[in-house]
Structure 1
């Protein structure tokens, strides 16, 4: 009896531990949405319109006219919840994002999204055709489910080293209500995988890769950069996304391209012209004097235009300069 009384408390503790572990294993999973989960009772269908505003008037510096001309890649969009990221500013680009930002390929991104869909963190994927010019539209109809109310999308800037525009985890649902309409501007991002400065820069891998960063009028702060406009506080919109909820029952056919673009979206939007100042090279060395100093000999130096001005930018300065010869720079002519 004494030995049983001594062992009983330990046996009870083990039993309580097993019961507690079983209870915790059956508990509801932790809510990772921080109370922002969509509680809408039904899906929602949206028309999504991408509009490019890339023109020589808004972005005159090094504007690509050929090989290839300015254009946009296919658009890739994903609906998802907060446990998935297609891309994220300040984070390192995935291998799929690297492939897309540099080459416009979506194979790896689609593969990763399909794997995430098996885990129910991705809802659907959509792609539209590319736009063969800097100004134009592409559209698709997107179906959102309450369990995947976030939208992420990307479009590559062509040509460019690894530049793109996009949206990261835009929430179309507030509590139990779907938003009706959204319009917002897109600005260029650098994927951090290629170190090229200009639209037509050759492939020059960034090792190690850098984080994804937004390109601004002064970042990168280098005159060679194609988006470097030091006179501007911010760049004009490079593109725009417009989303409008459809009144009809949501479609269930993915990748269906819609022609229901509002009439005013077919009209080109007007943006202020971006002034582009002239850029010239350094002066060449002075040439030899044209004659003896006593006869008024002259010497010359030249420079050439690196970048022609546009849109009322600062005109180019003189490209040739001369001065009278002095004793220390004069070439005597016999």
Structure 2
């Protein structure tokens, strides 16, 4: 009998403990992985000028032209330029002289470090009825693209785009079009298209060019259109 009472008591104690205890909540399902493109893609890069005497009449220069474009596909650890950041030697020379060197060397260094995938470039543009065209390759770890070219003549003005993301909804966009403003690289203090060389030291942060050459009636007037067209999936 004592054994039966002991067993019954143990059962009641266990039941009482069970009523007061709470089981651990089920583990939350893991967050869904961010969708990324399955493979690389290739894009045609097109730059068209919208910088004309009609659209930008203030001191519009004779011999207006664009230097050749230069750019790169990359990840978030690299970019050719950023507003608020001082120019690299490569960006400064591109914006002042239209030269691709040493910017091309800076891009190749980023490629060697794994932060950029591909460099692309083109010749210059003198006839604004034409376009500059190049090809760039992207992949899921380097989906961003930067491109720049000098506005010539100018002290240190350029146009371009930075961190253009061509990945979208787990795939690659078929086409992307952007309007491009003018920028002041921060490497020269000149204020007019034909200003003599006035090198800035220390260098100033890159800014949007916001004077009368590019802002009309309070509105920024773009100087170019940038188009990406996917060539391959």
Q: TM-score range by the shorter chain?
A: 0.7 to 0.9
RMSD: 2.0
Cα distance in 1, alignment partners of residues 97 and 192 from structure 2: 16
Structure 1 residue 138: Cα displacement: 1.0
Cα distance in 1, alignment partners of residues 107 and 43 from structure 2: 20
Structure 1 residue 39: Cα displacement: 2.0
More strand by share: 2
Residues 1:159 and 2:153 are matched in the alignment: yes
Higher relative contact order (CA 8 A, sep 6+): 2
Cα distance in 2, alignment partners of residues 211 and 38 from structure 1: 35
Match of 1:192 in 2: 186
* CA distance 1:38–1:133, shift in 2 (3 Å): farther
* CA distance 1:182–1:59, shift in 2 (3 Å): same
Contact 2:48 2:131 in 1 (8 A): yes
Match of 1:127 in 2: 121
Match of 1:233 in 2: 218
Gaps of 5+ in 2: 1-31
Gaps of 5+ in 1: 1-34, 220-224, 251-334
Structure index of larger Rg: 1
Give the match's secondary structure for 2:44: strand
Structure 1 residue 237: Cα displacement: 1.9
* CA distance 1:195–1:134, shift in 2 (3 Å): farther
Residues 1:171 and 2:165 are matched in the alignment: yes
> 39, 47, 52: which one pairs with 1:42?
39
Contact 1:36 1:175 in 2 (8 A): no
Give the match's secondary structure for 2:46: strand
Matches within 5 A, 1:1-334: 39-65=36-62, 69-216=63-210, 219=211, 226-227=213-214, 229=216, 232-246=217-231, 249=232
Give the match's secondary structure for 2:219: coil
Superimposed CA distance per residue, residues 35-55 of structure 1 (whole angstroms, 9 cap, x where no aligned partner): 997721111121211000111
Contact 1:189 1:214 in 2 (8 A): yes
Cα distance in 2, alignment partners of residues 70 and 61 from structure 1: 13
Superimposed CA distance per residue, residues 58-100 of structure 1 (whole angstroms, 9 cap, x where no aligned partner): 11111112xxx00000000100001111111110001111111
Contact 2:179 2:226 in 1 (8 A): yes
Contact 1:84 1:122 in 2 (8 A): yes
Give the length in aligned residue pairs.
202
* CA distance 1:89–1:148, shift in 2 (3 Å): same
Contact 2:48 2:128 in 1 (8 A): no
Give the match's secondary structure for 2:118: strand
* CA distance 1:168–1:36, shift in 2 (3 Å): farther
Cα distance in 1, alignment partners of residues 202 and 56 from structure 2: 30
* CA distance 1:228–1:168, shift in 2 (3 Å): closer
